[in-house]
Every structure is written in C-alpha cells, then in structure tokens.
Chains A and B, each alone.
Chain A
Amino acid sequence: MALAAQPQMPRVWRAETKPHKFCPGCGHGIILKALGEAIDALGIQERTIFGCDIGCSLLSWDFFNLDTIQTHHGRTTPVLVGIKRVRPELVVVSYMGDGGAYAIGAQHLVSSAVRNDLVTIIVVNNTQYGMTGGQMAPTTLPGQKTETTPYGRDVKLTGRPILGPELVAAVAPPGAYVARGSIANVVQLKNFIQKGLLNQIEGRGIAFIEALSACPTNWRTNAAETWRFIEKEMAAYFPTGELRTPGEAKNGQAGEGTPGAPEH
C-alpha cells in the first residue's frame, strides 16, 4: 500500500534531486520551498534563472527545474546582473548566505542596491559560516560562540552584527523592495519572496530579502534550542518585516531638500 501522505513539493522543485543535500534541521530547504511556491504562484518557471553562491547555498545547484548557475563566493549577484542586462525578459534570483552577501560580496550588494539592479536577492542568515565549519560571520550575535570566537563574539574587537536589509534600504533608490523574513513564519517569508520577484518582473528595482535561518549542526543545538535561538535571540536583533516597498517614500530620507533627493 502506498503511503497516504506524500511531501508537498512546489512544482518547480526537481523531485529527482530530493531528498536535498542539506543537513537535518537546516533552514535552506524551508526557504527554497518558499521560493518554489512563489515561483509557482507567479507562473515564471519558464523564464527564471537561479544562481547560487559558495557555502551551503551551493548545495542547491541542482535543486530546481530551473536553469541554474553556481558561481563563486560572493559573486552570484554580478553574474546574474550580467545575464539580466542582456536578457531582461528573464527573472534572475541570486541566492547566497550571509558571508557571501555581507562580507566577501558586500561591494556587489551595495553597488547593485545603488544601481537598483533588476535582480531578486535572497540572503540566508544563520549567524555563521556553515559550510566551512561554523566560523564567525558578519551576522554572528554578540557573545555568540563560533569556531573563531570560541569565547563568544567580542563586539569591541569584531564589531556588531550587520543589519543587511537596513543597509540595502538605506542606499537603494525608490522602487526597491526590502524585507526580512524568517523560517519561523513561512507564510510571511513566501509572501516577501513573491513580492520580491514581482518587483523585478514589474521593473521597479532591486528586491532584497533576508531570511533568518537555522544551523543546528554548527550551533550544536537540539530542536527546542534551535527554535528558541531563531524566534528569540535572532528575532530580537534582526526584526522581521518589510523595510521598503516600492512607491512609498524612503522613510523620509529622500524628502525635499535632503541629500540624494531626486531633482524634478
């Protein structure tokens, strides 16, 4: 007798490569499910290009029934921008971890945001470098223990965790979409990603979504501790919600007479 319940996969998922390659308890699968559902909902499978970075995100190189390019550490956005500039009919998704986005690839993130590049960037924030064994990342919380901060992150020596969406929201022109979601709220996360894809499709500007994620392998946490870390500690430092939606004023920053205001 066949099993009554089959896992519900988005149509754009590639069943042949499931179960996926991520560790048990990893957040990537949840985020990629949200992305898959958003692609299904918008009906854009035929014209979506998926790009993944170095680090755990590269394990998604054969995840979807999408043309996919796995690039170098931090370089996924430039590759997809290069594609988008010559094939504007395509929808390009740049998928990476916090190290790729905020450390080694930070100049590309800032520059793409300033240019309002038509690309949808999804950054997985799990507060450390997963693939290389759990070192401190730009997102590591104050006091958090990692392999390179074994006594806890000392913010006097290494700074405070970067607020990626806040950074993008501060520099991107009107038309940008910026949000932070979490695997603790999948419905909201899927909604953010879908809006982010739509922002690109409608040609309004860059879309940037950070997803708070889990790494129980390197956090060395059980299920309850993992969930507590995401919902309490991460959420306290990294508030979820939409930071920029197209059409709205830029939090008063770009008002009349202020630096950077458009001249009409």
Chain B
Amino acid sequence: MAAKPIEGEQRAFMTGNEVVAWAALAAGADIMYGYPITPQNEIMHYWTRMAPRYDRGFLQTEDEISAGFTTVGGVLAGKRAFTATAGPGNVLMQEAMSMAEMMRLPTVVVVTQRGGPSTATVIYSQQELNLTCFGGNGEGLRIVYSTSSHQDLFNYTIKAFNTAWKYRFPTFVLGDGYQSKMREPVTIYDPATRGIVMEECRPMVGLPGIAGIDREPAHLRNTYNLEDELYDRLTASIKDYQAMIPEVVEWEACAVDDDEILVIAHGVVSRAARAAVDSLREAGIKAGYFRPITLRPFPEEALQPLAARAQRILVVESAHGQLERQVRASLYGLETPVSGYLRPGMGITPEEIIGAVQQTLRS
C-alpha cells in the first residue's frame, strides 16, 4: 500500500489549487473526474502528478456534463470521487448535481468562481453563489462551504467529503479564482493527526451476493410516475436536510456586542471585511462582522439576533446581490435597514469597505 501523502503536518507556501489537490489526497479521495476550465485547471494538474504515486485515479472527460456524471458513477460504486469546475462548467455540472440531489449521492465538487454571466472573465467573482446553492431543477438540497483562505480550502475540502458521505447530499467547496491562483502560507496535514475520521464510503451498486437470490437488487431511479411518489421522496429528503442543518451550519462573527453597523461578507471578501471592521473599531466606529461559512444551509438563526441588535447592515460582495438576497430572506420581518456594496466580478479592498461603511452611516 502506498504511503500517506502527508505525514503529520507540514507548513507550505502554495497556490489554492495545489492546496485543494493535497487536501483531496489527504482525505483519501479515490478518483478525480475533470474537464479543463480556468481557474480550476491546476487542481487537475497537481492531482494528475501526485495521484499515481498513491494509487488514485483520474479521468479527463469530454465536458463537465460527463465530469459530473462520471463523478456520480464513482460515488455509486462506493468511492470517494470528486470533480472541480468554474463558471460555464459549473452551469453544465448542474445536471449531474440535480441527479445527485434527487438520489442522495455524496458527490464533492470544488468550484473556483470566475466572472459571469457567460464566458466573462477567467479571473474572479462571487457570482456562482446562486448557481452553486440552488442550481438544478430542485430545492437546493446541497451543502455549500465558502472558503476565505488556503487554510479553509484545505480544511473544508477534507470536510466536504465527510459531510457528503455522512448526510448524502451533494457537497460543494466554493472558492474563487483569487484563492486558486495566489500563494499563501498554509498548514497541510494528515487528517488522522487531527482526530478527523474519514466517513466510510458504502457502495450503492455492485453489492456483494447475487441480486434476487442472496439479496434484493439495488434498483435506483430518479424518475417517478405520480406526484405523490415524488412528494413522499422529497418530503423525506427535506426532513433529513432540515434535521442536518444544526449539525453542519457554520459561521463566524466578531465585534458584534455593541455594533451600530454589521458588515456581512463571505469567501475571500470576508477577509477584507474583517480587516475593515478592525480598522473602523480602532477609529472608534462601532462596526461588527459576520461571515456565513455555509452558504447552504445559510446560518440564519445565528444571524437573526445579531441583525436585530445592529442599527444598519451592509452586505459586501463581488456579485450584484446574490449574498444580499440570502441575507434579506433570512431577516424577513426585521426592520434593520440593509444596504449593499456590490461589485460583480471585482475584488474588494478593506479601504473600499471602510468608505462604504462611512457612507452608509452618513446616509
């Protein structure tokens, strides 16, 4: 048997895409199915270089539709399978993820957001929130982790496999092109050294014994004849999803005891928001910070009391209101005014956020 990819823990200085490949190796991912698209390509590049040394597989497919459906096949066979994509590839990926949602398949997809809509830029945005949380012709029964740093990329890529296999909903790691391409320090580690036990992967087809003689056959479908059959199936899934929410929902907050204005951001923008709030506090302005880590399920129970206490809310994102819409939906009935600093496809600095906070407080 091949040695562990990472012994103990190591400090490293690498790009986010390299971090994801290492995390998938460390998590014991068996195979990656992928199709080239910028800015996720180097996840495949690092994976294809390292995977053979650890008896892991790779298949380059003909498009993201196939990458999604081969990933579905991999998890049906009982293997820790994943793919990575972005932008228009994420659009095509939704067909397979819709099937994963219906059939409760533990797929893992890493999304490195690029500009949208259409081909747009290969660089950066936060415009794939709606698509990743709610893509497909269904109810968005998925788990979406929004990462803000390379350490997050490593931690949540490992966690995504465990969440997916434990709860059996398609799980996404939502990064972006900035995180993919920049280098920063990160600690990579063998999950076992942190007490992380990888969830067992159980096959759904290819089970032991002869079907119909030793056991019942696994007859897996995503099509139903009648409204009632579908409704029963979905009701059971929605119930499971709701029971799961308290166990998987994640967020972070700071300076929210006496804040007059609560700044809400996710992903890499939350780092600028955090820095802006620190600076504003130093200048005597009572600003607070809230970051949803799971965008789906959204941490609305955590946010509600903080939002009720604040006098103003400012949502900051590299999209035109995709996070803001989730915030507003979570806070329906509250009277705290919500405004947005919305820069679709643009990076956001702490200075811009400080300016936006000051302008909001003046208005």
- Per-residue A-contact encoding for B71-99, CB less than 8 Å = 1, 0 else: 11110111101000000000000011001
| Segment 92-112 of A: residues with Cβ below 8 Å from B | 107-108, 110-111
| Segment 46-84 of A: residues with Cβ below 8 Å from B | 46-47, 49, 54, 58, 61-62, 64-72, 75, 78-84
Q: Closest residue of chain B to A65, judged by CB?
A: B212
**What's the least CB distance linking A86 to chain B, in Å?**
4
Q: Given contacts A66-B217, A67-B205, A111-B61, are A78 and B95 in contact (CB under 8 A)?
A: no
CA distance A110 to B203 in the complex (A): 28
Surface stretch bound by A, among B178-186, B218-226, B227-235, B320-328: B218-226
A residues in contact with B99, CB < 8 Å: 71-72, 75
A226 close to B (CB within 8 Å): no
B206 contacts A85, C-beta separation under 8 Å: no
Q: Given contacts A75-B96, A86-B31, are A67 and B211 in contact (CB under 8 A)?
A: yes
B206 contacts A90, C-beta separation under 8 Å: yes
B57 close to A (CB within 8 Å): yes
A87 close to B (CB within 8 Å): yes
B212 contacts A14, C-beta separation under 8 Å: yes
**What's the least CB distance linking A14 to chain B, in Å?**
6
A45 close to B (CB within 8 Å): yes
Q: Closest residue of chain B to A112, judged by CB?
A: B62
Chain B: interface size category: 35 or more
| Segment 19-58 of B: residues with Cβ below 8 Å from A | 30-31, 33, 57
A87 contacts B212, C-beta separation under 8 Å: no
B residues in contact with A62, CB < 8 Å: 217, 219, 221
A47 contacts B206, C-beta separation under 8 Å: yes
Q: Given contacts A14-B212, A75-B69, are A86 and B221 in contact (CB under 8 A)?
A: no
B192 close to A (CB within 8 Å): no
A78 contacts B69, C-beta separation under 8 Å: yes
B66 close to A (CB within 8 Å): yes
Q: Which residues of B contact A (CB under 8 A)?
A: 30-31, 33, 57, 59, 61-63, 65-66, 69-74, 76-79, 81, 95-96, 99, 203, 205-207, 209-213, 217-223
Could you pull out 26 A-B pairs where Cβ atoms are within 8 angstroms? Answer: A46-B211, A49-B206, A58-B221, A62-B221, A64-B217, A65-B210, A65-B211, A66-B211, A66-B217, A67-B211, A67-B220, A68-B218, A70-B220, A72-B96, A75-B66, A78-B61, A78-B66, A78-B69, A82-B72, A82-B73, A83-B74, A83-B205, A84-B73, A86-B74, A87-B78, A111-B61
Q: Which residues of A contact B (CB under 8 A)?
A: 12, 14, 45-47, 49, 54, 58, 61-62, 64-72, 75, 78-87, 90, 107-108, 110-111
